[in-house]
């Protein structure tokens, strides 16, 4: 029985209409990127794990897709894992010895670490008798090694997941006192690469590697897929595209002003009016953490605060309490949850709250600069709004942070976001290279345009005209015309089979092709073509030049 095909959760297939609509969004965004002076680059779909890990905070790290090493790594892995097991056994027993634990009390628990098919009578007897930890480790290992290597079949069974499979053993041994050693040591053999989580960290790596060939400030745009091991839901996928624009090599706040304008330009070009560009500053969040006495818990504070619109005020406060932020500190946060008024009014209130924080005052100055410039320049269809609870849970942001929400009435998460990062390249050996960037969430933008019926009617019509096939002579005559049409940027196609005319016309209707061309004996004799409008039903005989003119 044939297996029913499926795709992994959080991924999607796209039909021709969907791809055409997605390309419309891509092309619109790309056009605006280039108008603002950004240049395109691309980076690999996967990076070395060490490039990505530790850059997104604990929650982000958990969502990174690891790639299992391929090829013959398992053949090299076998002996390496045995060495790991041996080292871990010695270290575990060494730990027990140093801690002075009573072996008589602990031996039964220790034996539970040994998989059933290796826990022989000899090993149990040895564990019962030995009190010298070093001698015990040596003798235990000799017996375990003998059991593992007794036959090739038994070793393979152990390594490939048979009875007492490898995962059981590593969990028992490494999961006790030497877990961190075991997992890190094994990790280099099991997985050295990971699918990229976003485009910003790979971009920082790119800048460092190519710094001698880049003219700074460097403005780059990138439109590629990223992957996150997230729980799939509406507007949240495991594979999705990001469209990023970043500037590195400049600390000027005019870059932030331009990025706000870029957001406005893209969404205006897409016809998506009424988007809100929310802005905050990481220095303000740092200042707030300082004021409430939680500077040492800045990451926990911002991660919790970033969930405000998802889980609500009370649950955010509860999470902060669980992370060790004091109740008195949380009480001092209350004015943040009730800030109201326009941009200037909220700034005034913030100044009172952050009067004792240098970081906070610097963040306020930066926000005031951006707001004043945007007010002078003006936005076309978007609005800039201060949101002091906006945190964005990425650790590398240091200044302004952005998030874009869809127009009122559309139930969708953010459709864009970004911020300033002062030293992201420093983690790759290139310190003091400030940058700022924003990202467009293509998949969510698609859903919003679809919900609001904002895709132009012509977007999905990829073919202008279909030539009906009446036979080989007529097909050859038609293909000569089709070649001329294509040279004039007109999408044209010949129906491949000499099927009944009704079937060919139905094909044109189902594909929503606006025109068909009919060519018979008379048309070939007169060097003409019969052009039929599939919407009105009108048809007329035209020359090739007239055909090109009418279809252009």
pLDDT in tens, 192-214: 899 999 998 999 999 999 999 99
pLDDT band, residue 177 (cuts 50/70/90): very low
Nearest alpha-carbon partner for 74 in 178, 191, 168, 167: 191
Query: Rounded mean pLDDT of 456-477?
Result: 90
Among 12-16, 143-147, 503-507, where is mean pLDDT lowest? 143-147
Mean pLDDT lowest among 102-106, 270-274, 486-490: 102-106
Q: Is 242 annotated as a binding residue?
A: yes
Q: Does the annotation flag 246 for ligand binding?
A: yes
> Which tens digit of pLDDT belongs to each residue from 114-164?
555 555 666 667 666 665 666 666 666 666 666 555 444 544 554 444 443
The pLDDT score that the predictor gives to residue 181 is 36
Beta strands in 389-528 (DSSP E): 400-405, 416-421, 435-441, 465-467, 492-494, 515-518
Q: Are 225 and 252 in contact (CB under 8 A)?
A: no
Residue 472 has pLDDT above 60, yes or no: yes
Decide which of 94 and 507 is more confident.
507
Residue 92's pLDDT band, with cuts at 50, 70 and 90, is: low
Structure tokens at 365: 């100055």
Predicted pLDDT at 30:
98
Per-residue pLDDT of 351-374, as tens digits, reads 988 988 999 999 999 999 999 999
Q: Is the pLDDT of residue 470 over 50?
A: yes
**In the predicted model, what is the mean pLDDT of residues 510-518?**
94
List C-alpha distances in Å: 262 to 247, 362, 384, 452: 13, 25, 12, 22
Place of tokens 């958990």: 62
Q: What is this structure's pTM?
A: 0.76
**Whether the Cβ atoms of residue 220 and residue 203 lie closer than 8 Å to each other:** yes
Q: How high is the pLDDT of residue 448?
A: 95
Instruction: Give residue 311's pLDDT.
Output: 86
Q: Does 183 have pLDDT greater than 60?
A: no
What pLDDT was estimated at residue 261? 98
Compute the distance between CA of residue 56 and CA of residue 169 in angstroms, rounded to an integer: 31
Question: For residue 100, what pLDDT is reported?
Answer: 55
Q: Which residues of 45-58 are buried (b: 16+ CB within 10 A; e: fewer)?
A: ebbebebbbebbbe
Residue 171, pLDDT score: 37
Helices (H), 36-120: 49-52, 57-62, 73-99, 103-112
Return the residue matching tokens 């499926």. Answer: 6
Query: 478 pLDDT exceeds 90?
Result: yes
Q: Is 392 annotated as a binding residue?
A: yes
Question: What pLDDT is stored for residue 67 in this prediction?
Answer: 85
Under the banding of pLDDT at 50, 70 and 90, the label for residue 510 is very high
Going by their DSSP bridges, the two strands 383-386 and 276-281 should be labelled as parallel
Spatial CA neighbour of 192 closest among 93, 101, 84, 77: 77
Residue that wins the pLDDT comparison between 50 and 108: 50
Report whether 397 belongs to an annotated binding site.
Answer: yes
200 is in an annotated binding site: yes
Residue 363 near residue 400 (C-beta atoms within 8 A): no
In the structure, what pLDDT confidence band is assigned to residue 75 with cuts at 50, 70 and 90?
A: low
Q: Which domains does the chain have, with CATH numbers?
A: 9-67+195-275+430-459 (3.30.930.10), 69-190 (no CATH), 281-405 (3.30.930.10), 465-551 (3.40.50.800)
Asked if the model's pLDDT at residue 498 lies above 60, the reply is: yes
Which has more confidence, 219 or 158? 219
């Amino acid at each position: 029985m044939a297996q029913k095909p499926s795709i992994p959760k959080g991924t999607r297939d796209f039909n021709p209409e969907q791809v055409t609509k997605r390309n419309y969004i891509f092309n619109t965004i790309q056009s605006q990127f280039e108008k603002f002076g950004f240049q395109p680059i691309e980076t690999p779909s996967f990076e070395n794990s060490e490039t990505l890990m530790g850059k997104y905070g604990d929650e982000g790290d958990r969502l990174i897709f690891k790639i299992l090493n391929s090829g013959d790594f398992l053949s090299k892995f076998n002996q390496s894992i045995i060495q790991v097991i041996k080292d871990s056994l010695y270290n575990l027993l060494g730990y027990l010895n140093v801690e002075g634990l009573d072996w008589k009390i602990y031996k039964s628990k220790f034996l539970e670490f040994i998989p059933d098919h290796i826990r022989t009578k000899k090993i149990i007897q040895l564990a019962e008798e030995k009190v010298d930890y070093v001698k015990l480790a040596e003798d235990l290992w000799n017996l375990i090694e003998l059991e593992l290597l007794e036959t090739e079949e038994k070793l393979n069974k152990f390594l490939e997941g048979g009875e007492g499979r490898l995962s059981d053993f590593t969990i028992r041994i490494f999961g006790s006192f030497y877990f961190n050693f075991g997992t890190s040591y094994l990790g280099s053999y099991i997985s050295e690469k990971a699918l990229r989580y976003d485009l910003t960290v790979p971009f920082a790596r790119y800048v460092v590697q190519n710094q001698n060939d880049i003219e700074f400030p460097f403005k780059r745009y990138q439109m590629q897929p990223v992957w996150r091991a997230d729980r799939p839901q509406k507007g949240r996928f495991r594979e999705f595209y990001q469209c990023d624009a970043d500037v590195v090599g400049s600390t000027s706040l005019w870059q932030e002003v331009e990025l706000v304008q870029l957001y406005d330009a893209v969404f205006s070009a897409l016809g998506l009016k009424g988007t809100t560009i929310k802005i905050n500053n990481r220095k303000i969040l740092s200042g707030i953490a300082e004021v409430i006495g939680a500077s040492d818990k800045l990451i926990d504070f911002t991660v919790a605060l970033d969930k405000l619109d998802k889980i609500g005020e009370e649950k955010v406060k509860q999470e902060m309490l669980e992370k060790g932020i004091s109740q008195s500190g949380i009480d001092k946060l209350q004015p943040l949850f009730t800030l109201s008024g326009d941009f200037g009014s909220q700034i005034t209130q913030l100044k009172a709250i952050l009067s004792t924080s240098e970081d906070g005052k610097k963040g306020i100055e930066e926000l005031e600069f951006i707001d004043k410039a945007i007010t002078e320049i003006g936005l076309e269809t978007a609005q800039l709004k201060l949101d002091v609870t906006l945190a964005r849970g990425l650790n590398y942001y240091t200044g302004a942070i952005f998030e874009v929400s869809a127009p009122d009435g559309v139930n969708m998460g953010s459709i864009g976001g970004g911020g300033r990062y002062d030293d992201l390249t420093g983690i790759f050996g290139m310190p003091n290279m400030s940058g700022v960037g924003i990202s467009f969430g293509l998949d969510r933008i698609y859903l919003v345009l679809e919900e609001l019926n904002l895709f132009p009617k012509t977007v999905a019509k990829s073919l202008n005209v279909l030539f009906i096939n009446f036979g080989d002579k007529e097909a050859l005559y038609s293909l000569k015309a089709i070649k001329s049409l294509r040279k004039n940027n007109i999408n044209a196609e010949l129906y491949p089979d000499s099927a009944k005319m009704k079937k060919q016309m139905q094909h044109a209707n189902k594909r929503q092709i606006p025109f068909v061309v009919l060519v018979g004996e008379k048309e070939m004799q007169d060097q003409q073509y019969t052009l039929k409008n599939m919407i009105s039903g009108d048809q007329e005989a035209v020359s090739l030049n007239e055909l090109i003119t009418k279809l252009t």
